[in-house]
Amino acid sequence: MLSRRWAKYVTALLLFAMVVPGALLVINTLDRDQDERARSEDARRSTCRSLVVRLVTALDAFTQQFDGLTATSDATIPPMPSMPQLRTEAAGFDQQLARSDCREAAARTAIDEWRQAKGATGPLADAVRAALAANVLDVVTGPDAGARYELTPDEDLATVLSRMPTGSTVVLPEGRFALDGTVALVQDITIQGAGRGRTLVTSRAQGAGLVLASQVTLRMSGVRVEHRGGGSASVLLLRAGTATLRDVQVAGATRDDRAEPGAEAVLSGGSGIVLAGGERLSMRGSSATRNAVGGLLVASGRPEVRGSSFRGNDVCGVCYVGKSSGRLRDSVLVGNGAGVTVGDRGAPVVDDNRIEANKQAGLVVQGASRPRLARNTVRGNGGIGVAVYGAASPQVTANTVTGHEQAGILVDVAARATPDLRGNDLRGNGSAGVVFTGRSGGTASGNTCSGARFGLVLDGSAAPVLGRNDCALQDQRSR
């Protein structure tokens, strides 16, 4: 019996000796695996934090360039990166997150916190920060560029515009939407209303309501945008990029000082649309009304305006200053201070328009400008139909100029200027059809004059080259 008990005891000892070391080995192995997993998780988290910090640091450094800038400041606005390039780089960042097994939620949180942080300040910095965040987040969370968003009346338009990724369309239903401050647009966007008689956007912003501040494209249709309030403000300011307007009305721009617009004052408010640094504007079937300076003030680029109207603007319906060009055609300019003014070195084409009942003159050409004015109907505008001053050398061709108190066309330019008047029909213009005065030179041929006291008057020391004109000549020059 004793030997059997010892045998069981020995057997148990042998089993214990065999099992316990194996169990300890398994436990030690599990502990090592857990340690390695913990170290791996710590490394992953560190890598992810590093990636996000690098991204946010780069975004913040770029945004600092815009610190303190306003849309109407004279300072040059730094260029924005192209949004396709930005989205490509964001896609590369997203791939790094995936390779490092990083959670997108952490990246979204960090970028959103950066967007709301108090870093660079000012309307441009805010717009740039929002645009960068919107596009990076859009790529990281699943690309939705070209999204279509229908605004509801209780949503804030400025917030929605700032947070849409590039290429998006914001749809505004019938109703009224308010902008309390300047909204700077730095990415491609379409604003689509229900019609300019049905969708109204009001702005109380000083300087400008909407500003295109980057080399991007704004498309706007079916909207009326109106400034309501005092101070100095334009409605739509194009500092860069391209804008396309269809069935859009801009109105109500104000300015404390209503001096004549010049190249040095284009950012000081008062105009419905200002092209100052922008490259192109395409405007059709639209209007600019009741603005303190100009309906459209062009200081750069080549706007193409067709089938639009400019009414009740205090200084000019369309004003060209600086080295501007472009084309204005098939449009109506009524009840402005002057229908069209061209100054500085402007060289637009103004053709086939109806220009009437403007308070001072139909067309005013001055500075060293060289516009082409053709086939316009210029009727009943204050004292003068077409006034040419300074060193301007316009081509004035085949216009119908009628019903002015003083003269159909008045030329008072420096001797070196070369205005060219050809084939114009001048009827019922008070004192004279055409007047050359001062030291004016230039040429006149193929013009017809009727229904005025005098046909073609030469005054002062004017010495134009006269071809065959159907105008009675009145030479009043001193000998």
pLDDT digits (tens, 9 = 90+) for 344-378: 999 999 999 999 999 999 999 999 999 999 999 99
Per DSSP, 64 falls in state G
Span of 64-73, 243-252, 290-299 with lowest mean pLDDT: 64-73
Residue, of 163 and 422, whose pLDDT is higher: 422
Q: How many CB atoms lie within 10 A of CB 44?
A: 14
pLDDT of residue 479: 60
Reduced to 3 states, what is the DSSP secondary structure of residue 60?
A: helix
pLDDT digits (tens, 9 = 90+) for 156-166: 998 888 888 88
Q: How far is 411 from 69, CA to CA, in rounded Å?
A: 43
Contacts of 288 (CB under 8 A, 6+ apart): 249, 250, 251, 272, 273, 294, 295, 296, 308, 309, 310, 313, 317
Average confidence score pLDDT of the chain: 84
User: What residues does 254 pair with on adjacent strands?
Assistant: 233
Nearest residue to 77 (alpha-carbon basis) of 188, 179, 215: 215
Residue 136 has pLDDT above 90, yes or no: no
Global confidence as pTM: 0.84
Residue 22 has pLDDT above 50, yes or no: no
Angle, to 10 degrees, between the axis of helix 123-141 and the axis of helix 83-99? 50
Could you list the beta-strand ranges (E) of 172-320: 175-179, 183-185, 189-192, 199-203, 207-212, 217-227, 233-238, 242-251, 273-275, 280-284, 287-289, 294-298, 304-306, 309-311, 316-320
Q: How far is 185 from 162, CA to CA, in rounded Å?
A: 7
Task: Report in angstroms the alpha-carbon separations of 319 from 101, 245, 325, 373, 419.
Answer: 58, 18, 11, 14, 19
Residue, of 126 and 324, whose pLDDT is higher: 324
Nearest residue to 162 (alpha-carbon basis) of 202, 194, 135, 199: 135
Reduced to 3 states, what is the DSSP secondary structure of residue 465?
A: strand
Taking residues 422-433, what's their average pLDDT? 96
Taking residues 279-300, what's their average pLDDT? 95
User: What residues does 387 pair with on adjacent strands?
Assistant: 364, 410
Which helix or strand (DSSP H or E) is residue 127 part of?
A: helix 123-141
Angle, to 10 degrees, between the axis of helix 2-63 and the axis of helix 123-141? 140
pLDDT digits (tens, 9 = 90+) for 200-255: 999 998 888 999 888 889 999 999 999 998 888 999 999 889 999 999 999 999 98
pLDDT of residue 135: 74
In angstroms and rounded to an integer, the radius of gyration of the C-alpha atoms of the chain is 35
pLDDT of residue 363: 98
Tell me if 442 sits within 8 A of 414, measured CB to CB: no
Residue 122 has pLDDT above 80, yes or no: no
Residue 145 has pLDDT above 60, yes or no: no
Q: How far is 308 from 354, CA to CA, in rounded Å?
A: 11
**Six token digits for residue 256:** 């404390």
